[in-house]
Structure 1
Amino acid sequence: MTPRQMGGGRSREALVRRSREAIRKGSKSFTVASMLFDKDTRDRSHMLYAWCRRCDDIADGQDHGMRPAEELDLSRSSPEDRVEAIRVLTHRAMDGQPTADIAFDALGQVASEARLTPDMADDVIDGFALDAAGWRPRTEGDMMRYCYHVAGAVGVMMARIMGVPADAGDTLDRACDLGLSFQLNNIARDIAEDDAAGRCYLPEEWLAEYDIPPGQHMKPRYRKELVTLVRRLVAMAERHEAAARLGAGRLTFRQRWAVLAAANIYGAIGREVVQQAELAWDHRVHIGYFEKLGHVASAFREAISGSWEPARLPEWDRGKLLVMARMAGPVAGVPNTPLRDEDVRRKED
């Protein structure tokens, strides 16, 4: 047996340095917001991001983040095999074992420091498994379950990195809301790119409601209906964003500032999609550097003023989505995970 070694035996400095390279390459928005954190939180958030980026690369058979050892080149294997490799490497890293992939070793480091659990990581990996299975959402709940896996669960991990206790359920719920908001805005922005890749994250029931035939939502004749549908999507994102601000008020000042800056920047993406209406998918909507700085300044004022009570909490909360995730039937690599005690209590609530 290989001895347990935090970070796979690599130095923390090397893990942080390579993780920082991954985030600079992968997300300009998150790079800007993360610079507002204190050093420890920033380093940990970068290591978590590096793992998320690497998982995404492996799932898609790409290498946009960090290059693995030659034997871990999975680009020619099946999507299901790649997801299984992600799960095996993740569990190995969180067990303190070296993985030969620096992004997974970085996860092992941050998991040890922030007490992240394999269940948290598995919730994220289940989102990759859904994509590998060619899954598409039929209902609004299906869409939100997917958003939970790929972003809401990451928000919970980020909250733990920021020192939110494991028993602070309401604050973790608000962190989940922030991730859900991010992903809903991403879906709105990336509809054309997803369609080109053979994917669609818009609920089939929504498309039917707007008389858009399956697989035809990018056709010019349905562009007006798509704009109306996306307004609804972004409105949902804004409700989750408002709820997330409530949780931000419980963080330290620098953490609150960073979270609010990220909320402002990602929220601006969705609002820009709505503003551009029928032209929104002719090119990829993005927020310019100076506009991002404006959102950072606005977040600074919000972090000081401290007034974020939402009009009402969103319908799709973490408790409901956890129960959906645990009770969902197995889908090509997505295990039918039994309900845990916490999930049962949430269902009863």
Structure 2
Amino acid sequence: MRPAGRAERAELDAAGVVDPVLREDYLICRALHAAHGRTYFLATRLLPVERRVHVHALYGFARHADEIVDAPDETASTGRLDAVEADLTRALAGPAPDAHPVVRAVAHTARTYGLAPELFDDFMASMRMDLTVTGYADDAALARYVRGSAEVIGLQMLPVLGTVGPREEAAPYAALLGAAFQVTNFLRDVGEDLDRGRVYLPADELAAFDVDRELLCWCRDRRRTDPRVRRALAHLVARTHATYRRAERGIDLLEPMSRACVDAARRLYEGILDEIADAGYDVLSRRVAVPARRRAAVALPGAARAGLARLRTPSPGRGA
């Protein structure tokens, strides 16, 4: 791995991470975040510098688990998940030098902020679902998966972001936003998920538009779409926009220094839905993305708001 640059060192120093091995662990998480979570990585730049490493750790751990379950060998993936879960159990209880670097970093973040182990249990349960479940009959079934794969990550983020009142008041909105991010990914990645044999859209809602897995596969194979698929996706996009509207109310419950980050992430992710619509809901022949100009239009004003909030409310670092 390349030596840490100035920005990486500044984040680690501000967070009080001094142990050389742990610093390297966090850098691995940061690299995963930068490479695979560009939208949220950009938004994370709006957080106070001392909090960023902890967001990188949470993302890096989630990405590490995702890569395990997306591997083609189910037996090997099961064994690797078992190893990650065993490492995590030990590391959450205290330093575990022989654990995977990503696990060491996220466990350090969990201990620093007192994250509930049950949130990690729910996350790992959803990751195990990916090894055997290839579709979801209805929204209730999908919601059980989303609870562990996304809502708990929103709840894990809350202590890092901070709240202006009781954390339990902000928790439902954090979970909603996590779910909205996840469903946005599902809608963007329909084609890629099909290539892995999975459909993360409720079968009964697709059926209401005469869409089933066979039709989705037909469109994917021919790199084209179908009016029925477009109507189904338009319905699901509209519903996800509504979820963002409900989740947005929770941003004001966060500490002022964190609001610009979360608002930017919300705008960027919701922008993916707009790009899907602009592409005629064709997510089976291409992968839509928010263009750089739109990302800049969100990030630059967000940076100004974040800077103003930091001037008004100095943020103490957290020792490690």
Q: Quick one: distance in 2 between partners of 1:79 and 1:240?
A: 33
What residue identity is the alignment partner of 1:82? R
Partner of 2:278: 275
Task: Tell me whether 1:88 sits opposite 2:86 in the alignment.
Answer: yes
What residue identity is the alignment partner of 1:31? F
Q: 8 Å contact 1:35–1:42 — kept in the other structure?
A: yes
Identical positions, percent: 23
Bigger share in helix: 2
With over 3 angstroms needed to count, the CA separation of the structure-2 counterparts of 1:279 and 1:222, relative to structure 1, is closer
Q: 8 Å contact 1:92–1:98 — kept in the other structure?
A: no
* Deviation sequence 1:55-82 (CA, Å, 0-9, x none): 11222239xxxxxxxxxxxx68444333
Partner of 1:111: 110
With over 3 angstroms needed to count, the CA separation of the structure-2 counterparts of 1:240 and 1:303, relative to structure 1, is farther
Partner of 1:263: 266
State the shift of 1:146 in Å.
1.8
Partner of 2:147: 148
* Deviation sequence 1:29-51 (CA, Å, 0-9, x none): 11110000001221110111111
What residue identity is the alignment partner of 1:83? L
State the shift of 1:298 in Å.
5.4
Task: Tell me whether 1:293 sits opposite 2:303 in the alignment.
Answer: no
Q: Quick one: distance in 2 between partners of 1:55 and 1:99?
A: 18
TM-score by length of 1: 0.75
Q: Quick one: distance in 1 between partners of 2:255 and 2:166?
A: 18
* Deviation sequence 1:185-243 (CA, Å, 0-9, x none): 11111111111111101112112211223432242497211111112212222122122
Say which of 229, 233, 251 aligns to 1:230: 233
Between 267-276 and 219-228, the greater mean CA deviation after superposition? 219-228
Query: What is the RMSD computed on CA atoms of the aligned residues?
Result: 2.6
What residue identity is the alignment partner of 1:108? A
State the shift of 1:122 in Å.
1.1
Q: Quick one: distance in 2 between partners of 1:48 and 1:80?
A: 21
What residue identity is the alignment partner of 1:172? A
Unpaired stretches in structure 2, ≥5 consecutive residues: 1-16, 308-320
Say which of 16, 29, 45 aligns to 2:39: 29
What residue identity is the alignment partner of 1:40? E
SS in 1 for 2:285: coil
Q: 8 Å contact 1:260–1:303 — kept in the other structure?
A: no
Q: Which has the higher contact order (CA 8 A, sep 6+)?
A: 2
With over 3 angstroms needed to count, the CA separation of the structure-2 counterparts of 1:199 and 1:300, relative to structure 1, is same
Unpaired stretches in structure 1, ≥5 consecutive residues: 1-6, 63-74, 305-349
